[in-house]
A and B are shown apart, each in its own frame.
Chain A
């Protein structure tokens, strides 16, 4: 049984929230790196 002063564990929510914004950002960064390498290969 939970103690009355027990606080809910929000680690899963925090991980989900960071993934929600992190995955699109990682996609954007991947595309950026692909383009930026043209400076050295183009």
Chain B
């Protein structure tokens, strides 16, 4: 087992969020892959589907490595995880650079998609558990800062990569140089996280539970503690999986077709939406997605996790209903509803680690979070499939304008209501699933009816 980087006395917990951000702002670059698509297509003679392969494989590897690597991350600590993420993400770019300069596209797919994708998954979950341990009074805010960084990464990379390609050229040599600079820059940038991240002294108790010597053990963490393996056997995990999957699918419902959607909605009105204005709408949605990650997850510290998901799913369904019924009558209404839905989409991602902590404790929350991210992968397939299939079938049926999306919105409302019901069914995890520390008696049975919807008490 790797020794976790233990915080010395007086170490500020406010050094941990920038450590987490340095990783998440880097790996968030994945969402800016589309910048490389047109140059790759013209330089290597690829189709649109082929040029999307590195990103798609990267997202698949993100889900797989987060799901299967979570336990290793818990065992070896955040510094190990951030180092793995740095090595994989940066070397993925370096391999892609080699692929571009030699015009071997398979090497770009393997480097960026496979190797870099492992960096995405391990990097995504690397700071979650540590942040929750440093901020037991504000877990939603702490993980919200980190996961906001994943959204912010694309905001930085998109203009930065575009400018780089404009300077270096869009032939295979220029693309290779851009990949090389990305790999080196991200390695330097992520190094801050590797150097700064520390585990709070109290967390050694949990490491001790997993195999350190008895002398290293401290106080046993308070509240229910459930192992990752055991969490998969609880209905709470699968209900939360459904909640996340439905919330993400609903957000993707807007994200996937945002630009054509706003254009179609107002095509036959006195104020049609131009192409640059539609691009501005997409940018505004990105801002709402990012703001929701920090804003709503911080709110969950005040109003409770279950209540905030009631908001995401219940009000989200209402927003879809408003767009479906009155969206084409008012542009401000359409924009406001879409922004609220996207803020809920981001909030759902950022609040889920704190929800997991409430249900399963901090014992292996990072590993459980990794396994839960398979809901994201599923939604990533489900969301675009529903929206594109429905829009295509409506177009084939001769519909146009807002009529293209009516059925999609109805499906989204249904999915959100399924998620709402799943959230209502979540109860505290039964004591038989709790991890009992060596030498401790049986875990206490929770009081009947006590739910994780009450706002946790905050430290002064």
Contacts and interface: CB of A to CB of B under 8 A. Distances in A.
Contact of A17 (B9, B156, B196, B277): B196
Contact of B159 (A13, A31, A38): A31
A17 B280 contact: no
B158 A31 contact: yes
B22 A20 contact: yes
A2 interface: no
Interface in B279-295: 279-281, 283-284, 286-287
Interface in A1-42: 7-8, 10, 13-14, 17-18, 20-21, 24-25, 27-29, 31-33, 35-42
Contacts of B157: 28
B196 to A, nearest CB: 6
A21 B155 contact: no
A21 B156 CA distance: 11
Contacts of B366: none
B246 interface: no
B14 A14 contact: yes
B11 A17 contact: no
Contacts of B335: 39
B88 interface: no
B152 A25 contact: yes
Interface string B1-36: 000000001111011001101100100000000000
Nearest to B16: A17
B270 interface: no
B280 A39 contact: yes
Q: How many residues of B sit at the interface, in one of the four size bands?
A: 35 or more
Where chain A touches its partner, the secondary structure class is: helix
Given A31-B155, A35-B280, A36-B283, A21 B15 contact: no
Contacts of A10: 10-12, 15
Contact of B276 (A8, A25, A29, A42): A42
Interface in B405-430: none
B43 interface: no
Nearest to B275: A42
Contacts of B10: 7-8, 10
Contacts of A20: 18, 22, 189, 192
Contacts of A36: 280, 283-284, 287
Contact of B280 (A28, A29, A31, A40): A40
B187 to A, nearest CB: 14
Given A7-B9, A8-B10, A20-B192, A35 B18 contact: no
A24 B26 CA distance: 10
A18 B335 CA distance: 33
A7 B196 CA distance: 17
B325 interface: no
Contacts of B276: 38, 42
Nearest to A17: B18
Contacts of A33: 287
B274 interface: yes
A39 B281 contact: yes
A19 to B, nearest CB: 9
A29 B159 CA distance: 11
A35 B279 CA distance: 7
Contacts of B12: 10, 14
Contact of B25 (A14, A21, A35): A21
Contact of B15 (A7, A14, A25, A41): A14
Given A10-B12, A25-B149, A38-B279, 4 more contacts: A14-B14, A14-B15, A27-B160, A28-B155
Interface of A: 7-8, 10, 13-14, 17-18, 20-21, 24-25, 27-29, 31-33, 35-42
7 contacts: A10-B10, A14-B14, A24-B25, A24-B156, A25-B156, A28-B152, A41-B280
